[in-house]
Amino acid sequence: MIDPTTAPSARERLRAIQDVADELGVSTRTLRFYESKGLIEPQRVGAMRVYDRREVARLRLILRGKRLGFSLRDIQEFLNLYDADPQHAEQMRRLIDRVRSRLAELEAQRAAIDETVRELHQIEREADARLVGARA
């Protein structure tokens, strides 16, 4: 653990939970949740959680993964592979597989949405035609 009284350069790199939460646009509860799931491991200075650059970088990856629709399990796997494989080859192979799978899911969803939109436009046209016919 870093002693904040004897390591000023290290202390300057550490950031409090609220500062990190504000920067990333999430709540401190979100950060504690990711910690409880083992995705991040902030250091402690007394009872206070502090985050170094590595943990902030991991948080950015977690948030990006969530935004892209990956599960916490997928994200945990990516983070574990990153730590275990200095060349990141296995991480990249698994990432490619997951990205391709996610793209296929999204493309299927887009096709379903496009079909629904077409069908709704057709219903709208038919309903408009009936209204015009009823007035005549």
- Residue 35: give its domain's CATH number: 1.10.1660.10
Q: What is the pLDDT of residue 1?
A: 44
pLDDT tens digits for range 19-47: 999 999 999 999 999 999 999 999 998 88
**Region 49-56 average pLDDT:** 93
- Domain boundary at 36, 68, 100, which? 68
Q: What is the pLDDT of residue 5?
A: 47
pLDDT higher at 6 or 70? 70
If asked whether residues 2 and 63 sit together in one domain, one would say yes
No. of helices (H) and no. of strands (E), the chain: 6, 3
If asked whether residues 108 and 135 sit together in one domain, one would say yes
If asked whether residues 52 and 99 sit together in one domain, one would say no
Assess if residue 75 is contained within a domain.
no
Are the C-beta atoms of residues 61 and 53 closer than 8 Å to each other? no
Q: Is the pLDDT of residue 134 over 90?
A: no
- Confidence category of residue 9, pLDDT binned at 50, 70, 90: low
What three-state secondary structure class fits 4?
coil
42 burial (CB, 10 Å; 0-12 / 13-18 / 19+) is buried
Assess if residue 73 is contained within a domain.
no
DSSP symbol at 39: S
- Domain boundary at 68, 98, 113, which? 68
Assess if residue 77 is contained within a domain.
no
DSSP E strand stretches across 5-54: 15-16, 43-45, 48-51
Assess if residue 74 is contained within a domain.
no
User: Could you tell me which of 88, 61, 84, 87 has the C-alpha nearest to residue 74?
Assistant: 61
Give the chain's domain count: 2
Q: What is the pLDDT of residue 28?
A: 95
Report for 36-50, 54-68, 112-126: range of highest mean pLDDT: 112-126
Residue ranges making up the domain that contains 15: 1-68
Q: What is the pLDDT of residue 6?
A: 47
If asked whether residues 13 and 49 sit together in one domain, one would say yes
